[in-house]
Amino acid sequence: MPSQPGATVEDRYIQGGLWIAVLVMSGWHVLSILPVALSGWLEHGLAIGALLWLGLAVVGAVSAWVVVRGGGHSVAFPLAVCVILLSASMIGSLTSPGGMFGHYNWPFAVVGWFGLVALWRQPLRALLGLLAVNALTGVTALVALGEANRLDFARLIVQTFGVSALEVTIYVGSRAVAATARIGAEAADAATRTRIVDMAAEANRSARRNRYEAIQGTAVPLLERLASGRLNLADGGIRQEIAVTVMRLRRDLVESDDVSDLLSHELRACADAAGRRGIAVDLIAPAGTIPVLPIEIRHALTEPVIHGLASAATRARVTVVASATDITVAIVTDTRHPVLPPESRGGVEVSYDQDEKALWIQARWTGALSSAQPDPVSSSPSSSPAVSP
């Protein structure tokens, strides 16, 4: 089965071939046949020729209108047109002066052009069948006119091939060109899909390298110190350092998940890590719409929250207020130890306040994302604003 781009290209080329067939049929009927029909009518009183020309003009116009608009796939319409064309061919052969090969027996020669348009949506065998039956009408006319001899049969064979070759060539040629275009479109589509897969694979490898480097920079040094016995786990500062490292790891592990709101997803991962330490974290649903943020901005917004959660004694509350150009993440904890939150970076301004019972930290990003960023995704609204001290 052809791919969707290939099938579309093939249909477009076949439609172009149909327009060529319609133009040739119309031009032949008007520029070549009309003078002959008028001459027979005016000079010899052959009104039947003029009527046949007019009737075939109507049949051709109707066929072109139906087939160009996508019709002609069923058998009924082309069959009815073929019956009319063969009848006109027989009438013209029997009534034209000069007999079968006379100057005014043009209906026999134009059957193929009108049939080409009417049978455009049908298989090639339908067109070949029409041309074969038209040849049989010529044989019948020869017998009826008493011209059934070897010379006239030979002339009929030559004339049949002469008036059929161009029609078959246009039909077969248009399909061949369309098939070639389809193959080219499918190859281009396959190459594009391969490039997309390669780009996705490279993005995954890059994400894995970044996570590995993050782990190397956070967990490994801490584990080396723990293994060498240089860490005093009774020290509150050491425990807080370990909690920060654990939450960073949890955040880094979920940053490549396929979710619509990565910032909230990473904050939830940090809250889960704090919950495993017995901290009751109240993570409020975001107020407003959080756009798709680069990883640098997300890390700058979540880093103060990680430090706040690591210092919490029993509970914490995290809120997010967002718009397309302004995102504020705030945390309030009941910490008992002094905490120095990370400095402002990545366009994110960090501010905090602390007393003997509570710590308040706020990270705020203001700016505009690049137009190349994906459309923002909606988050659930909340009436809770960012917490102030």
Q: Are residues 251 and 184 in the same domain?
A: no
Q: Are residues 358 and 290 in the same domain?
A: yes
User: DSSP string of 118-175?
Assistant: HTTTS-HHHHHHHHHHHHHHHHHHHHHTT--SHHHHHHHHHHHHHHHHHHHHHHHHHH
* Residue 227: other Cβ atoms inside 10 A: 9
Instruction: Establish if 285 belongs to a structural domain.
Output: yes
Task: Kindly state the DSSP code that residue 345 receives in the 8-state scheme.
Answer: B
Instruction: Establish if 109 belongs to a structural domain.
Output: yes
Pairing of strands 326-333, 315-322: antiparallel
Q: Are residues 174 and 271 in the same domain?
A: no
Instruction: Establish if 18 belongs to a structural domain.
Output: yes
Distance of alpha carbon 104 from alpha carbon 41, whole angstroms: 10
Q: Are residues 153 and 11 in the same domain?
A: yes
Tell me the β-bridge partners of 322. 288, 327
pLDDT in tens, the chain (389 residues): 555 667 788 888 888 889 999 999 999 889 988 888 888 887 777 788 889 999 999 999 999 999 998 888 888 889 999 999 999 989 888 888 777 787 788 888 889 899 999 999 999 999 999 999 999 998 988 888 887 788 888 888 888 888 888 899 999 998 898 888 888 888 888 888 888 888 878 877 776 777 667 666 666 666 666 666 666 666 666 677 777 777 877 787 777 777 888 888 889 988 988 888 888 999 988 888 888 888 888 888 988 888 888 888 889 999 999 888 889 999 999 876 666 667 777 788 888 888 878 888 999 998 766 544 443 333 333 333 344 43
Distance of alpha carbon 361 from alpha carbon 17, whole angstroms: 70
Residue where one domain finishes, among candidates 160, 189, 218: 189
∠ CA(329), CA(206), CA(350), 5° rounding? 20
- Give me the pLDDT at residue 160, please: 87
Q: Which helix (H) or strand (E) holds 354?
A: strand 348-354
Domain count, the chain: 2
- The encoded tokens of residue 386 equal 């960012």
- Give me the pLDDT at residue 224, please: 62
- Give me the pLDDT at residue 339, please: 65
* Residue 320: other Cβ atoms inside 10 A: 27
Q: Are residues 12 and 147 in the same domain?
A: yes
- Give me the pLDDT at residue 238, please: 67
Phi-psi map region of 352: left, alpha, beta (phi>0 left; psi -120 to 50 alpha): beta
Instruction: Establish if 129 belongs to a structural domain.
Output: yes
Q: Are residues 270 and 185 in the same domain?
A: no
- Residue 145 to residues 87, 166, 316: CA-CA distances in angstroms? 16, 28, 107
Distance of alpha carbon 306 from alpha carbon 299, whole angstroms: 10
Q: Are residues 185 and 239 in the same domain?
A: no
Dihedral pair phi/psi, residue 222, rounded to 5° = -65, -40
* Residue 224: other Cβ atoms inside 10 A: 11
Q: Are residues 53 and 169 in the same domain?
A: yes
Residue-number span of the structural domain to which 171 is assigned: 4-189
Q: Which helix (H) or strand (E) holds 359?
A: strand 359-366
Distance of alpha carbon 67 from alpha carbon 121, whole angstroms: 7
- Give me the pLDDT at residue 130, please: 92
Alpha helices, DSSP H, located in the chain: 4-27, 34-44, 47-68, 76-95, 107-118, 124-144, 150-227, 236-254, 262-276, 295-311
- Give me the pLDDT at residue 329, please: 93
Burial of 58 (0-12, 13-18, 19+ CB in 10 A): exposed
Instruction: Establish if 258 belongs to a structural domain.
Output: yes
Q: Are residues 178 and 261 in the same domain?
A: no
Instruction: Establish if 145 belongs to a structural domain.
Output: yes
- The encoded tokens of residue 347 equal 């366009």
Instruction: Establish if 204 belongs to a structural domain.
Output: no
User: DSSP string of 321-336?
Assistant: EE-SSEEEEEEEE--S
